[in-house]
Amino acid sequence: MSSTEREITITALKYDPQSKVSKPHFAEYKVKEAPGMTLFIALNEIREKQDPDLAFDFVCRAGICGSCGMVVNGKPRLACRTLTSEFENGKIQLLPMPAFKLLKDLSVDTGNWMNGMSKRVESWIHTNKKTDISKLEERVEPDSAQETFELDRCIECGICVAACGTKIMRPDFIGAVGLIRAARFDIDVHDERSDEDYYELIGDDNGIFGCMTLLGCEDNCPKNLPLQNKIAYMRRKLVSVK
């Protein structure tokens, strides 16, 4: 083995909650590290050569779909954006993200949770205007459009939810992803909802007033979104409503 290659040890939780005989346990795998290897590549090698039963999620492999979120050495991260070379001792422990329903091993159900979050904050444009496709679209100032697009970069990976201490303690807390989704529509010039409307959606301890500003969401967001900035923005707006 050359000086640029080493053997790393990956320990992953194995558990199938749908099986009556399955019990939570850790499985250990040895992998020969390759230059530029990501955790995603290592997991695929494990599944192809050592354990075809190992369950984890992926789609894009480029940090865009958000599917491969998991807890890596205690921190929620995207497997496709995590280099194995980052771990100097070559030991990596993997767990499924908390706060979501466990499907199997490292696979959790973020999709249904995100769908529920979208409905909860009514994640669509609210307007009484009629769309006339024969006319040019309504002009939007570039700065305003950019502010909206910035929040649209969220890939709904669930990492901010898994990193949130409030969410772990309060299961109905909507999390940073839900709060910035509300902020995204609040700053959208096409949306006509009032502060009172948003208060009805997120103006409680499971919404904007439940955030304890622990910074776990922003510290771990793979897209470096301004989560705390926008949460503070919404809190300032809604605190004066009632």
DSSP letters, 65-118, are: S-TTEEEETTEEEEGGG-BGGG-TT-EEEEEPPTTSEEEETTEEEHHHHHHHHH
pLDDT at 1: 45
* Residue 39, SS3 per DSSP: helix
Among the residue ranges 50-59, 67-76, 104-113, 138-147, the one predicted with the least confidence is 138-147
pLDDT of residue 3 exceeding 70:
no
Share above pLDDT 70 across residues of the chain, in percent, rounded to a whole number: 98
Work out how many domains the chain is built from and give that number.
2
* Cβ–Cβ < 8 Å for 21, 38: no
Which of 108, 123, 155 is the last residue before a domain boundary? 108
Evaluate whether residue 126 is within a structural domain: no
Residue in 87, 88, 92, 67 with CA at minimum distance from that of residue 78: 67
Evaluate whether residue 123 is within a structural domain: no
pLDDT of residue 235 exceeding 90:
yes
pLDDT of residue 233 exceeding 80:
yes
* Residue 101 tokens, joined: 């329903």
Evaluate whether residue 125 is within a structural domain: no
Give pLDDT tens digits for 135-187: 888 888 999 999 999 999 999 999 999 999 999 999 999 999 999 999 999 99
Same domain, 90 and 160: no
Which of 108, 131, 148 is the last residue before a domain boundary? 108
pLDDT at 132: 85
pTM of this structure: 0.91
Share above pLDDT 90 across residues of the chain, in percent, rounded to a whole number: 91
d(CA 159, CA 178): 13
Strand duo 91-95 + 7-14: pairing = parallel
Same domain, 98 and 146: no
Q: What domain range is 73 assigned to?
A: 7-108
